[in-house]
């Protein structure tokens, strides 16, 4: 894979708190979604990619280089943070020009750079004379994006940019990102709702508890989730006879019976879990408890796709 971001056995700890735990993955060029519930490690990963944090162990490269204290590399990355820290009394051009000037651009040049960025972020010119404090959420998001792309980076990183936007706002913002991608930029965009990014991203990295649960396209993600759910633990009066009963119905890929404990691997997890009382009927063994080992992961996935 021709990857732009590559993590190898990457960990990042905040003291004893785990941010990312031994993750390895690659992100190809294009638009990639970084998805996972709150606290999964998305912002930690973004801070590592943008050089704000250093790995505790393992390695992370962007365009083949380590980002920490790498000014040349960081000039190729644009970052749109989750937090909204826009100066509400300034107009967008004033703010963007000031930022460009601080970064070393001559004052004269800052005007055309800032205007170009606002146009690419599709903030209508009619609003340029208004103060940012009067802007809607969607307009502020465009100013933040303009800030991230003003220096024409090759990679644009956006932390939860769809948060608080209505469906129309999300679709419009997605179109802007697609346009940037068509113009040759790669994009890494995070969200805790997979559904928000499904229309936009060609690939995904799915995080939870500081680990990569799955990566690839949408089909790969769903396949992984189904694989998670195929192991079921049962406590019953007679594990061997229940296993034989389920086996005779052709429901199992495998099983492990030990006294009252039975672990089964089922062929079709969703169908099995939907109809489990039917599958057990006709067997003398009494079932006390049934647990899908990876139900927690599946339910996280379901929550994110809703
Ligand atoms: N500065 C910090 N100090 C201590 N722990 C932190 C710090 N930043 C993040 N963490 C912890 O690291 C873990 C990963 O957090 P992170 O912010 O990367 O997740 P996230 O997926 O971005 O979540 P969210 O969507 O809520 O922003 C969490 O347990 C979080 O509490």
In the reported structure, the alpha carbon of residue 79 is separated from the centroid of ligand 1 by a whole-number distance in angstroms of 18
Nearest C-alpha to atom 4 of ligand 1 is from which residue?
14
Dist. CA 213–CA 228, nearest whole Å: 10
**What is the β-pairing status of strands 31-35 and 186-191?**
parallel
pLDDT score for 33:
95
In the reported structure, the alpha carbon of residue 267 is separated from the centroid of ligand 1 by a whole-number distance in angstroms of 37
266-279 per-residue burial string, b: 16 or more CB within 10 A, e: under 16: beebeebbeebeeb
Task: Decide which of 85 and 95 is more confident.
Answer: 95
To 5 degrees, how large is the angle CA 77–CA 81–CA 87? 115
Dist. CA 53–CA 44, nearest whole Å: 8
* pLDDT tens for each residue of 6-21: 999 999 999 989 999 9
Q: Would you place residue 224 in the very low, low, confident or very high pLDDT band (cuts 50, 70, 90)?
A: confident
Dist. CA 25–CA 212, nearest whole Å: 8
pLDDT score for 228:
64
64-68, 154-158, 224-228, range with the lowest pLDDT: 224-228
Beta-strand runs (E) in the chain: 3-14, 17-28, 31-35, 57-62, 77-80, 155-158, 186-191, 203-208, 211-216, 231-236, 252-258, 261-266, 287-292
Dist. CA 49–CA 159, nearest whole Å: 12
Q: What would the mean pLDDT of 208-219 be, rounded to a whole number?
A: 85
* Interface TM-score (ipTM) > 0.85: yes
Q: What would the mean pLDDT of 154-176 be, rounded to a whole number?
A: 91
DSSP per-residue string spanning 208-221: ETTEEEEEESHHHH
pLDDT score for 39:
86
> What three-state secondary structure class fits 301?
helix
pLDDT score for 217:
83
Token duo for residue 27 = 């992100």
**What is the β-pairing status of strands 17-28 and 77-80?**
unpaired
Residue 226 has pLDDT above 70, yes or no: no
For the chain, give the percent of residues with pLDDT over 90: 63
Q: Which domains does the chain have, with CATH numbers?
A: 3-224 (3.40.50.300), 229-305 (3.30.70)
Q: What would the mean pLDDT of 189-199 be, rounded to a whole number?
A: 85
Q: Which atom of ligand 1 is nearest to the CA of 44?
A: 18
Q: Average pLDDT of the chain?
A: 89
In sequence order, what are the beta bridge partners of 283? none
In the reported structure, the alpha carbon of residue 1 is separated from the centroid of ligand 1 by a whole-number distance in angstroms of 29
In the reported structure, the alpha carbon of residue 13 is separated from the centroid of ligand 1 by a whole-number distance in angstroms of 10
Q: Which atom of ligand 1 is nearest to the CA of 82?
A: 27
In the reported structure, the alpha carbon of residue 231 is separated from the centroid of ligand 1 by a whole-number distance in angstroms of 30
* pLDDT tens for each residue of 98-152: 999 998 899 999 999 999 999 999 999 999 999 999 999 999 999 999 999 999 9
Q: Which atom of ligand 1 is nearest to the CA of 160?
A: 25
Residue 302 has pLDDT above 80, yes or no: no
**CB under 6 Å to ligand 1: residues?**
14, 17, 19, 36, 38-44, 192
Task: Decide which of 247 and 290 is more confident.
Answer: 247
Residue 202 has pLDDT above 80, yes or no: yes
H helix and E strand count, the chain = 12, 13
44, 189, 303: residue to mutate for ligand 1 pocket, most atoms within 8 A of CB? 44
In the reported structure, the alpha carbon of residue 115 is separated from the centroid of ligand 1 by a whole-number distance in angstroms of 35
């Amino acid at each position: 894979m021709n990857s732009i971001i590559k993590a190898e056995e990457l960990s990042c700890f905040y003291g004893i708190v785990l941010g990312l735990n031994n993750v390895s993955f690659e992100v190809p060029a294009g638009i990639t979604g970084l998805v996972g519930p709150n606290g999964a490690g998305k912002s930690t990963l973004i801070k590592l990619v943008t050089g704000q944090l250093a790995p505790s162990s393992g390695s992370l490269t962007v365009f083949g280089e380590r980002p920490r204290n790498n000014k040349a590399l960081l000039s190729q990355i644009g970052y749109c943070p989750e937090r909204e820290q826009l100066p509400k009394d300034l107009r967008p051009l004033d703010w963007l020009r000031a930022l460009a000037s601080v970064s070393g651009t001559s004052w004269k040049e800052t005007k055309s750079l800032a205007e170009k960025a606002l146009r690419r972020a599709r903030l209508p010119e009619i609003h340029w004379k208004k103060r940012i404090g009067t802007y809607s959420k969607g307009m502020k998001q465009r100013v933040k994006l303009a800030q991230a792309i003003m220096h024409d980076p090759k990679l644009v990183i956006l932390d939860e940019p769809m948060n608080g936007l209505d469906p129309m706002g999300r679709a419009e913002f997605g179109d802007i990102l697609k346009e940037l991608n068509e113009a040759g930029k790669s994009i890494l965009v995070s969200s805790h709702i997979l559904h928000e990014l499904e229309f936009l991203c060609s690939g995904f990295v799915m995080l939870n508890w500081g680990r990569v649960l799955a990566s690839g396209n949408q089909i790969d993600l769903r396949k992984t989730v189904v694989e998670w759910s195929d192991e079921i633990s049962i406590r019953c009066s007679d594990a061997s006879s229940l296993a034989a009963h389920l086996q005779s119905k052709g429901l199992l890929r495998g099983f492990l019976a030990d006294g009252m404990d039975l672990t089964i691997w089922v062929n079709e997890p969703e169908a099995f879990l939907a109809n489990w009382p039917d599958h057990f009927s006709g067997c003398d063994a009494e079932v006390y408890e049934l647990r899908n080992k990876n139900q927690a992961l599946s339910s996280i996935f379901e929550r994110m796709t809703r």
